[in-house]
Structure 1
Amino acid sequence: MDTTTLLSITAAAVWVFWSVGAYNRLVGLRNELLRCFAPVDEQLRARQALLQRWAEGLDDADEAALQSFRAACQQVEGAGAHARANPSRAGAMTSLRLADEILMQARAKLPAAADESLAAAVAEADTTLAFARRQFNEAAQAYNRAVSQFPTWVLSGLFGFRKAGTL
């Protein structure tokens, strides 16, 4: 076996081992991203339930503002279902983020909850959701960095790894 053949085999072996390692790293980062979405989804559902209870107790609210709020709640639920189906899709996360922003705008137009314990529970749910979002966004940024780094981006294109969206 001559030197050129030996070098070619060695280079091919190095490339194969690197490719397997890079692929496994991308899979691990995507799995971490999916794992970090579960608390976000759980907190979104819990907050939605609290917000619906809150809306039921608003007898003196402007009817148009209340209808807008209810529509925004339904929009968040739909976007959440879409994001739940594939949390690594940038479009799904963008839809969820925008739907939640619309919900917060509609919520700001309504009066404060009369029940202090319910208001405290909603505030706590907001805080917990913000923490879960930060963790998800950090995982998404780590995944996105790995997907866009050279030469890993070559493998990410071959195997369908796409950049994830943030919340």
Structure 2
Amino acid sequence: MESWIILLVVFVGIPLILVMIYNRLVALKQTCNQAWGDIDVQLKQRHDLVPNLVETVKGYAEHEKGTLEGVIKARQTAIDASSLKDLAEAENLLSGALRQLFALSESYPDLKANQNFLSLQNELADLENKIAAARRFFNNAVQEFNTAVEQFPAVLIANMFGFSAKDYFEVGETERGAPNVKF
């Protein structure tokens, strides 16, 4: 009778535990993918908003081409980024360029009073908050996944099936602290 229990544990219990661990890793990986999808949607909305913002400012700040071109270039770099690290760096550059654009608006009272500009600025501020929330959710999902991938006995299954630690979506130096936007 005792040998049947041992055989049952070896042939049913251990494979069942392995399947449960594998399924948990898959679920955590999918949570990371879904969280990244949320960030991607917000970043695409941000990328779509930037040209409208630049066009609105262009009419008021004809001689500020360097700032406007910097914003457009930073946006394109973010769109073209191919890895999470490159994207994080590009998004940080875009945030810095947008900060310069809003600082520029301080020199143009008519621009600051323009309803279209104010609407775009508010929409961008809302998107920045959504991106920050999505980034926190993504980084939390990555932390859970990375912890699961490194814990024993899951590390054995993770290595066997190619699960590897994911990168966090880091905040760059240009994004630390609150933005300085004045009305």
Query: For this structure pair, what is the TM-score category when the shorter chain's length is used for normalisation?
Result: 0.7 to 0.9
Q: After TM superposition, give the deviation of residue 152 of structure 1 in Å.
A: 0.7
Q: After TM superposition, give the deviation of residue 22 of structure 1 in Å.
A: 0.5
- Deviation string, structure 1 residues 98-156 (Cα, Å, up to 9, x no partner): 11111112222222364111111111111111111111111111111111111211111
Please name the residue that 2:91 is paired with.
Answer: 100
Matched, 1:39 2:48: no
What amino acid is aligned across from residue 88 of structure 2 in structure 1? R
Residues matched between the structures, number: 155
What amino acid is aligned across from residue 124 of structure 1 in structure 2? D
Please name the residue that 1:11 is paired with.
Answer: 10
CA RMSD, Structure 1 to Structure 2 (Å): 2.2
Please name the residue that 1:147 is paired with.
Answer: 149
User: For the pair shown, which has the larger CA radius of gyration, 1 or 2?
Assistant: 2
What amino acid is aligned across from residue 27 of structure 2 in structure 1? G
What amino acid is aligned across from residue 125 of structure 2 in structure 1? A
Please name the residue that 1:132 is paired with.
Answer: 134
Q: After TM superposition, give the deviation of residue 8 of structure 1 in Å.
A: 6.2
- List alignment gaps of at least 5 residues for structure 1: 83-91
- Deviation string, structure 1 residues 21-61 (Cα, Å, up to 9, x no partner): 10000001111111122221111111111112111222216
Please name the residue that 2:163 is paired with.
Answer: 161
Rate the CA distance shift 1:63–1:22 in 2: closer, same or farther, 3 A: same
Please name the residue that 2:108 is paired with.
Answer: none
**TM-score normalized with structure 1 length:** 0.82
- List alignment gaps of at least 5 residues for structure 2: 106-110, 170-183
Q: After TM superposition, give the deviation of residue 10 of structure 1 in Å.
A: 3.1
**TM-score normalized with structure 2 length:** 0.75
Please name the residue that 1:77 is paired with.
Answer: 79
Q: After TM superposition, give the deviation of residue 68 of structure 1 in Å.
A: 2.0
Q: After TM superposition, give the deviation of residue 12 of structure 1 in Å.
A: 4.8
Please name the residue that 1:62 is paired with.
Answer: 64
Q: After TM superposition, give the deviation of residue 159 of structure 1 in Å.
A: 0.3
Residues in 2 aligned to 1:109 and 1:136: alpha-carbon distance in whole angstroms: 28
Residues in 2 aligned to 1:47 and 1:131: alpha-carbon distance in whole angstroms: 14
